[in-house]
Amino acid sequence: MAVEGGMKCVKFLLYVLLLAFCAFAVGLIAVGIGAQLVLNQTITPGTTPGSLLPVVIIAVGAFLFLVAFVGCCGACKENYCLMITFAIFLSLIMLVEVAAAIAGYVFRDKVISEFNKDFRQQMQNYPQNNHTASILDSMQEDFKCCGAANYTDWEKILMVAKRVPDSCCVNVTQGCGINFNVKDIHTEGCVEKIGGWLRDRLLVVAAVALGIAFVEVLGIVFACCLVKSIRSGYEVM
């Protein structure tokens, strides 16, 4: 039996929310992939809270897309079982997103400590590993920084006084890091600058996750209303 009256409006709003969920899902997957690519270039891969968060975001995005599809089928066919499944799974996704948002906030400062450790480790490999050198050079050029805490960190690595990588220079040219003038290089360390950037992005992701969770609450409410209407229709029949 087709829903009638106010339930038609609820069903329409649920369709709108389902489209929004699909868009959110694609957005979460894109954000998760982007965050993973950034972390792969800045933090050594491992099972740390900071490195696991992008994986969680991608998984939640993919699952949300699947759940939205189930909800769309359930609403279209007005199927009681599909709508119950949709409401339960959407509730689980909402709980995971809230937990991920809380974790992102709690571990926001740990991102800098992890980045500090990994950045210094990569600095040690700079003279011997061309791939590592290329990554660090790109980071220093893009964020206009030099060394971990400041430019003097490179003296311990390169074992030469008045020598930093050319990527530390304000105007990068070959050999510009040899016998440099301080005014010609970036003196601020990369740990605070890049780590702060990562921490701020983590907080943005956490805030977005909470926003999506709020919209999902509306989806759960509308789904429950539709389920009640469908069940009432079955009882009448």
Q: What is the mean pLDDT of residues 145-151?
A: 93
Q: What is the mean pLDDT of residues 197-211?
A: 78
- Please tell me the predicted confidence (pLDDT) of residue 12: 84
- Please tell me the predicted confidence (pLDDT) of residue 1: 45
- Please tell me the predicted confidence (pLDDT) of residue 45: 53
- Please tell me the predicted confidence (pLDDT) of residue 47: 47
pLDDT digit string (tens) for 53-67? 778 788 888 998 999
53, 186 in Cβ contact below 8 A?
no
- Please tell me the predicted confidence (pLDDT) of residue 66: 92
- Nearest residue to 194 via CA among 77, 43, 48: 43
pLDDT digit string (tens) for 4-60? 556 778 888 888 888 888 888 898 888 888 877 776 666 555 545 556 777 878 888
- Please tell me the predicted confidence (pLDDT) of residue 4: 56
Residue with the larger pLDDT of the pair 138 and 97: 138
Cα–Cα distance between 23 and 233 in angstroms, integer? 32
List Cα–Cα distances, 170 to 7, 58, 176, 178, 189, in angstroms.
Answer: 64, 37, 9, 13, 14
Question: Can you give the pTM of this predicted structure?
Answer: 0.66
Q: What is the mean pLDDT of residues 144-153?
A: 93
pLDDT digit string (tens) for 159-203? 788 899 999 999 999 999 998 999 999 999 998 888 788 777 777
Cβ-Cβ contacts under 8 Å for 232 (sequence gap 6 or more) = none
pLDDT digit string (tens) for 64-103? 899 999 988 888 888 888 889 999 998 998 888 788 778 7
| Highest mean pLDDT out of 12-26, 104-118, 138-152, 201-215 | 138-152
- Nearest residue to 154 via CA among 117, 192, 184, 190: 190
Per-residue pLDDT for 235 more than 70?
no
The token pair at 220 is: 């759960």
Per-residue pLDDT for 146 more than 90?
yes
Q: Secondary structure of the chain in the HEC alphabet? A: CCCCCHHHHHHHHHHHHHHHHHHHHHHHHHHHHHHHHHHHHHCCCCCCHHHHHHHHHHHHHHHHHHHHHHHHHHHHHCCHHHHHHHHHHHHHHHHHHHHHHHHHHHCHHHHHHHHHHHHHHHHHHCCCCHHHHHHHHHHHHHHCCCCCCECCHHHHHHCCCCECCHHHECCCCCCCCECCCHHHECCECHHHHHHHHHHHHHHHHHHHHHHHHHHHHHHHHHHHHHHHHHHHHHHHC
